[in-house]
Chain A
Amino acid sequence: MLRPFRLEEPESVKEVSELLGRFGESAKVYAGGTELLLAMKEGLVHYERLINVKNVKGLNEVASDNGMVRIGALCTHHQLETSPLLQQKLAALVRLEQNVANVRVRQVGTLGGNLCFAEPHADPGILLLALGATMVAEKASSKREIPAEEFFVDAYETGVEADEVLTEIRVPVPARNSGVAYLKFGYLERPSVGVAVAFQVQESGQSVHDIKIAVGCAGPAPKRVPEAEEHIKGKGFDEATVNISKAGEIAGRAAQAISDLHGSQEYKEHIVGVLLKRAFQNALGQYRAVQS
């Protein structure tokens, strides 16, 4: 049962930050509430105050300028899965959003809430890592950008400070010579392994110029795997296709997979490798389709 709490209704980021500063750990930011309220109903956490940020203006828009997509932290998953702008600029994110949890969660759950709650079995952070996104965190007097790699600290822990508010997610628009894919594997709505790949192809059109590989869900937090990327970077497509198995082994180990009811550590490591191969082929297929 949900225990009583006080609801604050600020209308600006400054007010939210001040409330967080004033009430410290007894207060928590609340947006869609799909994860936080569930945990509170279960009695796993309790806050004396919830700071409802849904009335803060300007945080639920998707915009694009200077090769960057800017997603307001309050955008719901549904808003993102149906955004024409996002479909045009970041189709891989749209596909991911179409498969987040279920329709009820997507209607009210926000991207910002998903990232800040940092539940280990969440999809968006993995793809955002591969896309080289940054998260904008604001407080009353300052604003900073946190690279996705520094944002995810551990299970349920992020780089957002206690009096900061995540306001925006900035994602560089992949160039025309890019391939991007996210694949996941799991039981019903709960992904137990997620793998994202994003690469650019050299001007010659014959080799991979740059690649980012990210894994998540299997371990405590999403993470990029530069050691796996090294086996693909600068390689021709044929060599990269051979090397992707080795990259998959490395990514599997790097995932810090945890054995649970959904699979053993070894099993999840294997699945990381399988998904990486498929995601790479998937992204390569997309690149070739755009070029032809």
Chain B
Amino acid sequence: MQFEKEVEILAPREKVWNFIWDVDRFIACVPGCKEAKTIEAGKLYSATMTEKVGPFRVEFPTTIEVLEREELAHIKAQASGADNKIGSRMKLSLDVKLREQGEKTVLGFVAGVDILGKLAALGHGIIKRKADQVLDEFAQAVKKRLEGDS
């Protein structure tokens, strides 16, 4: 499943960039994400992703690895996790790009999400919709947090 999102934030690019690397504040914008830890600053992080669709709950202890980093412009990362209780795995690839647009910064990201295992029984469509909702909420939370600060 591939998702592309873009959000305009009324804040300088440097501020948006610094926000992304402020793990605690950044993670607070990711719906269902908790217990974020820095294993190796700028390279390796861990967190637990939880999500719910009706009675179905998942909890993925996740490792996030930063693969590429171009200052103020681009981050490429990947994440993976497994919920052993329901026998499912999650893989995420993330390309984040920042560009200036007047006084605003455009934060764009392309996310590839794969859910494998029993959870797939819920149906591709339901999972895709949920993932889309989570990414939308995330984008809006980042915007709100950064614009609220300015």
- Known: A155-B126, A258-B126, A259-B125. Contact between A42 and B118, CB under 8 A? yes
Q: Which of B5-55 contact A (CB under 8 A)?
A: 53-55
Give the residue of A43, A46, A157, A260 whose beta carbon is less than 8 angstroms from that of B54.
A157
Min distance, Cβ A154 to any Cβ of chain B, angstroms: 7
Task: Give Cα distance in the complex from A157 to B128, angstroms.
Answer: 17
Q: How many A residues are at the interface, by size bracket?
A: 10 to 19
A103 within 8 A of B: no
Give the residue of A39, A120, A260 whose beta carbon is less than 8 angstroms from that of B55.
A39
Q: Is the CB of B56 within 8 A of A44?
A: yes
Q: Is the CB of B119 within 8 A of A120?
A: no
Q: Which of A13-50 contact B (CB under 8 A)?
A: 28, 39, 42-46
- Known: A39-B55, A44-B86. Contact between A120 and B126, CB under 8 A? yes
Task: Give Cα distance in the complex from A28 to B125, angstroms.
Answer: 25
> Which of B57, B85, B119, B123 has the most chain A CB within a 10 Å cutoff?
B123
Min distance, Cβ A260 to any Cβ of chain B, angstroms: 4
A156 within 8 A of B: yes
Task: Give Cα distance in the complex from A28 to B57, angstroms.
Answer: 14
Per-residue CB contact flags for chain B residues 92-132 toward chain A (1 = under 8 Å, else 0) read 00000000000000000000000000110111111011000
Task: Give Cα distance in the complex from A157 to B126, angstroms.
Answer: 12
Task: Give Cα distance in the complex from A28 to B56, angstroms.
Answer: 12
Write the residues of chain B forming the contact surface with A, with a CB cutoff of 8 angstroms: 53-57, 85-87, 118-119, 121-126, 128-129
Which residues of B lie under 8 Å from residue A260 when comparing CB positions? 123-125
Give the residue of B55, B126, B129 whose beta carbon is less than 8 angstroms from that of A45.
B55
Task: Give Cα distance in the complex from A261 to B124, angstroms.
Answer: 8
Which residues of A lie under 8 Å from residue B87 when comparing CB positions? 43
A273 within 8 A of B: no
Min distance, Cβ A285 to any Cβ of chain B, angstroms: 33
Q: Is the CB of A155 within 8 A of B54?
A: yes
Write 14 A-B pairs (CB below 8 A) sorted by A numbering.
A39-B56, A42-B121, A43-B118, A44-B56, A45-B55, A45-B56, A46-B85, A118-B54, A154-B54, A155-B129, A220-B126, A258-B129, A260-B124, A261-B124
Which residues of A lie under 8 Å from residue B123 when comparing CB positions? 120, 258, 260
Min distance, Cβ A167 to any Cβ of chain B, angstroms: 20
Q: Is the CB of A44 within 8 A of B126?
A: no
Min distance, Cβ B126 to any Cβ of chain A, angstroms: 5
Task: Give Cα distance in the complex from A214 to B128, angstroms.
Answer: 23
- The residue on A at minimum CB distance from B123 is A260
Per-residue CB contact flags for chain A residues 147-169 toward chain B (1 = under 8 Å, else 0) read 00000001111000000000000
